[in-house]
Structure 1
Amino acid sequence: MHHPSRPSVAKRRAADVAYDAIEALICTLRLTPGSPVNEAELAELTEMGRTPVREALLRMVSIGLIVQQPRRGLLVSNIDLADHLDVIQTRRVLEHVIAACAARRASAQERKAILACAERMEKAAVRGRLDAYMEADRELDEVTHYAARNHSAVKAVTPLIVQCRRFWYAYQHEGEIKEGARFHMELARGIATGDETAALAGADALLDYLEQFARRVIDN
């Protein structure tokens, strides 16, 4: 889906395209936690050059998605159950800021795109299409972040979203994606209607769902 208000893929920097492709591999556990990261293999897998892949990996090291260890090189970071509730607590604060900004600042076109992404999540959930659900979730984040026009909040929340997405994918047999889609739609409607109170309530409902999901996993 192309968002006219955002740069097209053709115009995006190669390193950004490489980053998205590698992030998807990590979030869907095709690159498993603790596994070594091979730059040449990733360049082949993502069909990107070595330079953009290297730049993407450096970004991932800076946000903790990939770790650099002496003598072992680059590794995909492990999922830390003990730390995950803190990740969600921090993300909640930032999602409040982004939801409020997006509700205030989104263009009419962006509001339509936000609703369309949430609708795609609902359709994918009904069909049990996990990959389509996650792709629509990524699109929803992207257009919402663009609409919020708050670079500092988006920059801070992005690594937390990636950690949540990977955690959710790893343990999604404990959750119900129809329920997840419903809470994303609640947030999307609040933003799309320009109702800051509803947008904040939607953000809270979504983070409550993620927190309850995490607690189920941790308690098992």
Structure 2
Amino acid sequence: MPAAVTSSPGGAPRRRAADMAYDAIETLIVTLQLEPGSPVVEAEIAERTGLGRTPVREALLRMTSVGLIDQQPRRGLLVSGIDLADHLDVVQTRRVLETLIASCSARRATAAERKDIVRCAEKMVKAAARGHLDDYMAADHELDRVNHRASRNQSAVMGVAPLIVQCRRFWYAYQHEGDIVEAADAHMELAQGIATGDEAAAVAGANRLLDYLERFARRVIDN
């Protein structure tokens, strides 16, 4: 979910500890360092991330609310599983929100945001060409942040954020079935549509990306 910020005495934005904890735990889950079905122990997470137990506890509660973590009787907190059939619903729901966000960003992005989103897409294309999944995912995450900010549509962003996390985790789990070069090209089409203010082109780029993610999911399910 989008991270909140506060202002430091000098006026620079300062992120809340709970938001930093959320991002740190999300990374552990998405990259499968915390595997599906594995127990989530608050004290261990706090030690692993170097953050206090209070922000970790708040982050875990948020993750439970969006389905990244399950709370089960007598078993405590567990990393949620990856349901292959349900993942198609995730992708299809994400499509609706991503096309809306793309359209909003094409209309509302500032000149600086338009440049930034193309820069992020270029980083994705370069990482994909080298076959560096971690660099690709980092650039993808950065692109999403810029795109979401540029959309000025907080409702859509809050809805799509947990779906994107599920898709990233799916990537790490089944990357042998994927093609990040194709996905990077779709992101570039999306970025160029936003950069030029062409809503139809931006929406076409978003749809191209979700078409690919749906094919990717179906390949995994069929195999």
**Does TM, scored on the shorter chain, surpass 0.5?**
yes
Code of the residue aligned with 2:208 in structure 1: it is A
Identity %: 75
> Aligned equivalents of 1:84 and 1:30: distance in 2?
20
Alignment of 1:212 with 2:212, yes or no, is no
Code of the residue aligned with 1:17 in structure 2: it is M
Code of the residue aligned with 2:148 in structure 1: it is H
Aligned with 1:53 (options 53, 56, 71):
56
Cα gap change, 1:89 to 1:78, in 2 (>3 Å):
same
The residue that corresponds to 1:181 in the other structure is 184
> Aligned equivalents of 2:66 and 2:196: distance in 1?
33
The residue that corresponds to 1:161 in the other structure is 164
Alignment of 1:76 with 2:76, yes or no, is no
Q: TM-score normalized by structure 1?
A: 0.94
Code of the residue aligned with 1:152 in structure 2: it is S
Alignment of 1:129 with 2:132, yes or no, is yes
The residue that corresponds to 1:148 in the other structure is 151
> Aligned equivalents of 2:133 and 2:45: distance in 1?
23
Code of the residue aligned with 2:51 in structure 1: it is M
Q: Structure 1: which 4+ aligned runs deviate by more than 4 Å?
A: 7-10
> Aligned equivalents of 2:49 and 2:118: distance in 1?
29
Q: TM-score normalized by structure 2?
A: 0.93
Code of the residue aligned with 2:79 in structure 1: it is V
The residue that corresponds to 2:16 in the other structure is 13
**3-state DSSP of counterpart to 2:32:** coil
> Aligned equivalents of 2:18 and 2:126: distance in 1?
31
Cα distance, 1:157 vs. partner? 0.6
- Count of matched residue pairs: 215
Code of the residue aligned with 1:79 in structure 2: it is I
> Aligned equivalents of 1:53 and 1:191: distance in 2?
36
The residue that corresponds to 2:3 in the other structure is none
The residue that corresponds to 1:3 in the other structure is none
**3-state DSSP of counterpart to 1:79:** coil
State the Cα deviation string for residues 17-39 of structure 1 (Å, max 9, x = none): 11111111111100000000011
Code of the residue aligned with 1:133 in structure 2: it is Y
Which consecutive residues of structure 1, in runs of 5 or more, have no partner in the other structure? 1-6
Which consecutive residues of structure 2, in runs of 5 or more, have no partner in the other structure? 1-6
